[in-house]
Amino acid sequence: MGKRITIDPITRIEGHLRIDCEVDGGKVTKAWASGQMWRGVEKILLGHDARDAWTITQRICGVCTTVHAIASVRAVENALNMEIPLNAQYIRNLIITAHAIHDHIVHFYHLSALDWVDVTSALKGDPAKTAQLAESLSTWKGNSIHEFEQVKTRLGAFVGTGQLGIFTNGYWGHPAMKLSPEVNLLATAHYLQALDIQRKANKIVTVLGSKTPHIQNLAVGGVANPIALDSQSVLTVERLMAIKGWIDELADFVKNVYLVDVSAIGAFYSDWTKYGAGITDYLSVPDLPLDTKGTQFALPGGYIKGGDLASHHAIKAFGDPYFRDGVEESVKHSWYKGGKGALHPYKGETDPEYTDFEDNGKYSWVKSPTFYSRPAQVGPLARVLNMVAADHAPTKKYLQTVLDTVGSLAKTTIPVSALHSTIGRHAARAVSCAVQVDELDHQWSLLMANIAKGDTATFNKPVFPKGEVSGVGFHEAPRGVLSHWVVIKDGKIKNYQAVVPTTWNAAPRNESDTPGPYEAALLNNPVADPEKPLEVLRTVHSFDPCLACAVHVLDPESNEVVTVKVL
């Protein structure tokens, strides 16, 4: 039996995740992913007016707020078979796309790049050589010698104090770090620039959503953004032009910095295309609706089985029976009462039953979703592969750009199959971000054109029937497929379940004892030093975990549900 290592908590993520691995012969032979926190939004929602659900569900997380609000209103609208005004669709599309771009930039530079970039090595980098390298790769304005000299000075000031400030925690000098000092200096400079550029995306969400996090402008039936061309107190052309300026700044950074950096780091770490594939069934959903009914979308979605793009099965509309009927969740290895097998979300239950960490029993607060009884990987890689399979031209263009750049730097040919890997997930996220930043501009143009036609409608009033109705709302969130499922009786919520991206990816073993995507992806990962398991973090971080979204349950009467003893 190999050495057991436990990483608890995994840092640079949202929420509390524990990873256990058995390491033998320098590689992972067995893994467990465990959500170590719980919450109770589904229980809190019971009995509430269905129109209030979106305001409550976005409190699931402090980061992924917008996505839960969107999925929630879509679930209620699906239950009521509602149409949404075009302006409302476009405004929602702008908000969720800006949020996604923000998430992608922050994830790569601030949450996961430090697994690949040795910040302390950057102090040895030559600014002139770094600028020469950077200018050979892109025309980005922040790639001057002066910029790199300033970054090196700031970094030296951190070290001079005896601390590394925001770079304090990292496996600096780890033998798995491969980049030259100049590439490390380049990446560190872009890390700092990304801190500023991510604000531009958040400004768009703030203006259109009235605030962020926790936007205030949604409503079942549309949005609460009055449109008028002659009032300063509503959504005016002046505000929309400010948004256009931020879109242009984001596009410049994503195409000239983010795509290039991911390609360069991918080339230096091309050996990581051999690790981290795991589950190769890929699920995504279509998003950015272009009509009032949610039957036409700017971005396609679907399901791929076994990594075979030819097996792509399209998901075509909100409420598509193929998606609606395929999702189930198991609690066989989760800390909930069970014994009923995997349940469809309309019949889902979240009654806690904590035991302890049991390798072969229950060991997580995360449930285990399946699609037609099989685990599925969700996220940017699933999104990009499904869009390629659907012959989505912008996705194919940006993917080919990344593969060509990596191949040129690594002096080899990189096939699409290389994406089934840890480093491939980063490449797919960058491709997805480039597609989305173009789509952000497109949605802005669609909104402006529709307003120019004289259409200022943003809301259709919902009407709740007597009796019971049910609906599912889905959204292709930055981390992947997010779906909210609601059963409504006489306008009040009878049952509510959220099946979120990290629930899919961080799932424990399912009803058939099949490992979840994190667990499968970690198998055969190299581990050079079990005391510093950097390679494990690389693969886990590549999924962008958000455990606050992934878990369940709280007692609405504030009684103690369970006691967890921390050892």
Q: Are strands 222-223 and 218-219 parallel, antiparallel or unpaired?
A: antiparallel
Is 174 assigned to a binding site?
no
DSSP of 158-211: HHHTTS-GGG-SS-TT-TT----HHHHHHHHHHHHHHHHHHHHHHHHHHHHHSS
Query: Which pLDDT belongs to residue 563?
Result: 38
Q: Is 157 exposed, middle or buried (0-12, 13-18, 19+ CB in 10 A)?
A: exposed
The pLDDT of residue 564: 34
Instruction: Round the average pLDDT of the chain to a whole number and report it.
Output: 93
The CATH number of the domain holding residue 379 is 1.10.645.10
* Residue 168 banded pLDDT, cuts 50, 70, 90: confident
Q: Do the Cβ atoms of 60 and 484 come closer than 8 Å?
A: no
Closest alpha carbon to 108 in 233, 327, 262, 211: 262
Please check whether residue 247 lies inside any domain of the structure.
Answer: yes
How sure is the predictor about 228, in pLDDT bands with cuts at 50, 70 and 90?
A: confident
Please tell me the predicted confidence (pLDDT) of residue 549: 67
Q: Does any domain span residue 335?
A: yes
Contact 508, 366 (CB under 8 A): yes
Q: Which residues contact 428 (CB under 8 A, 6 or more apart)?
A: 379, 380, 381, 383, 384, 385, 399, 419
pLDDT value at 426 more than 50: yes
Mean pLDDT of 249-264: 97
Q: Give the dihedral sign, CA 417/420/424/427.
A: positive
Would you put residue 11 in left (φ > 0), alpha (ψ -120 to 50) or beta? beta
pLDDT at 38 over 80: no
In a domain, 553, yes or no: no
Whether 492 shows a pLDDT value over 70: the answer reads yes
Q: At 1, is the pLDDT very low, low, confident or very high (cuts 50, 70, 90)?
A: low
The reply to whether 21 sits in an annotated binding site is: no
Domain-located, residue 93: yes
Contact (CB, 8 A) for 409 and 264: yes
Per-residue pLDDT tens over the stretch 3-20: 999 999 888 888 889 999
Cα–Cα distance measured from residue 53 to residue 75, given in angstroms and rounded to the nearest whole number: 10
Gap between the Cα atoms of 333 and 316, Å rounded: 33
State the pLDDT confidence band at 2, using cuts at 50, 70 and 90: confident
Quick check: is 477 in a domain? yes
Tokens of 58: 């976005």
Residue scoring higher pLDDT (38 or 428)? 428
Map 316-380 to HEC letters.
CCCCCHHHHCCEEEECCCECECCCCCCECHHHCCCCECCCCCCCCCCCECCCEEEECCECCECCH
pLDDT score of 229: 74
Give residue-wise pLDDT tens across range 451-467.
999 999 999 999 999 99
308 occurs within a structural domain: yes
Q: Would you place residue 42 in the very low, low, confident or very high pLDDT band (cuts 50, 70, 90)?
A: confident
Count of residues for the chain?
567
Q: Flag whether 433 is marked binding.
A: no
The reported pLDDT for the residue numbered 153 is 94
**What are the tens digits of pLDDT across the range 266-302?**
999 999 999 999 999 999 999 999 999 999 999 999 9
Q: Of 67, 84, 76, 58, which Cα lies nearest the Cα of 494?
A: 76
Instruction: Give every strand in the sheet of 301-304, ordered side by side.
Output: 282-284, 301-304, 313-315
Is the model's pLDDT at 105 over the cut of 70? yes
pLDDT for res 562: 38
% pLDDT > 90, the chain: 83
Read off the tokens for 116: 């690949």
Helix axes 181-209, 145-160, angle to 10 degrees: 90
**DSSP, res 494:** E
pLDDT tens digits, 109-127: 999 999 999 998 999 999 9
Mode of pairing for the β-strands spanning 218-219 and 480-489:
unpaired
For residue 271, what is the DSSP state? G
421: confidence class by pLDDT, cuts 50, 70, 90: very high
Distance CA 43, CA 64 (A): 19
How confident is residue 391, by pLDDT bands cut at 50, 70 and 90? very high
Q: What is the DSSP code (8-state) at residue 212? A: S
Q: Helices 393-410 and 422-452, interaxial angle, to 10°? A: 140
Q: Which pLDDT band holds residue 375 (cuts at 50, 70, 90)?
A: very high
Quote the pLDDT of residue 551: 55
| Residue 104 counted as an annotated binding residue | no
Domain that holds residue 442: 3-547
Reference 207, options 230, 238, 229, 231; nearest CA is 238
| pTM greater than 0.85 (yes/no) | yes
Q: Which two tokens stand for residue 167?
A: 């770079």
**Domain assignment of residue 560, yes or no:** no
pLDDT level of residue 550 (50, 70, 90 thresholds): low
Would the annotation count 549 as a binding residue? yes
Between residues 288 and 170, which one has the greater pLDDT?
288
Does residue 564 lie within any of the structural domains? no
Give the integer Cα–Cα distance in Å for 160 and 444.
46
pLDDT, residue 565, reads 37
How many separate domains does the chain show? 1
Give 232's pLDDT tier (boundaries 50, 70, 90): confident
Q: Please state, in angstroms and rounded to a whole number, the distance separating the CA atoms of residues 265 and 254.
A: 15
Q: What whole-number distance in Å separates Cα of residue 60 and Cα of residue 15?
A: 11
Residue 39 is predicted with a pLDDT of 67
Angstrom distance (rounded) from CA 210 to CA 234 = 10
Tokens representing residue 93 in the block: 């599309």
